Amino acid sequence: MAIYTHMSKETIREILTTQYGIDGPCEFVALSGGFENSNYKITVNSRQYVLTICEQKSCEDSVKLALLLEYLKANSFDTSVLVRNKDHKLLAFYQNKPVLLKEYVQGTIVQDFSDTELRAIGSELAKLHSIIAPSYLPDSPAYGLRFFDQIATYEPESPFYAWLLALKSKLSTYEGLSKSLIHSDLFFNNVVVVPNGNVVLMDFEEACYYHRVFDIGMALIGCCVLDNVLDLAKVAIILEGYQSSAPLDDNDKRALKDYTVYAAGAMGFWRHQNYRFTRPDENFKESYQILFNLAKSIQTMNDEDFLKLF
């Protein structure tokens, strides 16, 4: 996406020196970040970091993210490692915006995962779901069904909104689904394949305490779609990796197809709201349609065929 806060080498060096006590020759490159952050990869004395400027998160929410990264490390879950500032505080600040510094994870981003990598993604997701959720996490994704009605404030006659309401009604029929700490945004570009062949799940900006099958569905949308079609062979491999560590009960298995539809619809809702209302962008205003069409194509799949993937 975009870099919203543009920084010079001198500015980055000043932040590192005065707020983190890290001094030395500095090189940096802007990273293609998300909608809410500006990110820079920095090299100082052969050590590499990612400097994140939180563009939309409050100080309180940024602290929660930093705490979560430390909590995951304490629970032996591999992800970005937070670097505290020289006063041992979680955050630094630049232009009154929260700043996080993290160790850079060496590896590659790939879009078409191997079977081994898919199995590892499933296993890592199961490991994440086994960690007790800290109390400060929200109890719903920031773009989940609880927020779908926000479309009524700016495009009430949208066919997409009508479809979301029907989906919301369908999801209300499920009861007793298991919940856990979830990532909720596990697309391929939030997975780093590290040199030893393992995978590291990154970017816990949207983490919350919610249904496991929503998180699995999001991983399927984010890691098993080729040419805008959900590849069921890839789905089966992720599920194999997941089930080897954290088997789902029959209730969750029956819900997974609809929650995969939900995951695609929720991401479509995020794009619809952000590119058509929050920050209108002519280049991306129709991008929600890709996920909308994907969600509808998954709806047409046979329920029993989906259950056979387990």
pLDDT: which is higher, 55 or 299: 299
Counting residues of the chain whose pLDDT is more than 90, the rounded percentage is 89
What number is the average pLDDT over the span 221-233?
A: 96
Q: Is the pLDDT of residue 4 over 80?
A: no
275 Cβ contact partners less than 8 Å away, ≥ 6 residues apart: 281, 284, 285, 287, 288
Give the tokens for residue 31: 């990273």
Q: Is the pLDDT of residue 255 over 50?
A: yes
Question: Tens digit of pLDDT for each residue in 162-202?
Answer: 999 999 999 999 999 999 999 999 999 999 999 888 999 99
Q: Is the pLDDT of residue 7 over 90?
A: no
Where do you find CATH 3.30.200.20 in the chain? 9-103
> What's the fold here for domain 115-307?
Aminoglycoside 3'-phosphotransferase; Chain: A, domain 2 (3.90.1200)
Where do you find CATH 3.90.1200.10 in the chain? 115-307
What pLDDT does 302 receive?
93
Q: Is the pLDDT of residue 246 over 60?
A: yes
CA distance linking residue 37 with residue 71, whole number of Å: 21
Question: 29 near 6, Cβ under 8 Å?
Answer: no
Q: Is the pLDDT of residue 5 over 80?
A: no
Three-state SS letters, 176-235: CCCEEEECCCCCHHHEEECCCCCEEECCCCCCEEEEHHHHHHHHHHHHCEECCEECHHHH
Question: Tens digit of pLDDT for each residue in 73-131?
Answer: 999 999 999 999 999 999 999 999 999 999 999 999 999 999 999 999 999 999 999 99
What pLDDT does 18 receive?
95
What pLDDT does 1 receive?
46
172 Cβ contact partners less than 8 Å away, ≥ 6 residues apart: none
Enter the pTM of the model. 0.94
What pLDDT does 3 receive?
55
* Range name among 31-35, 62-66, 75-79, 197-201 with the lowest pLDDT average: 31-35
CATH superfamily for domain 9-103: Phosphorylase Kinase; domain 1 (3.30.200.20)
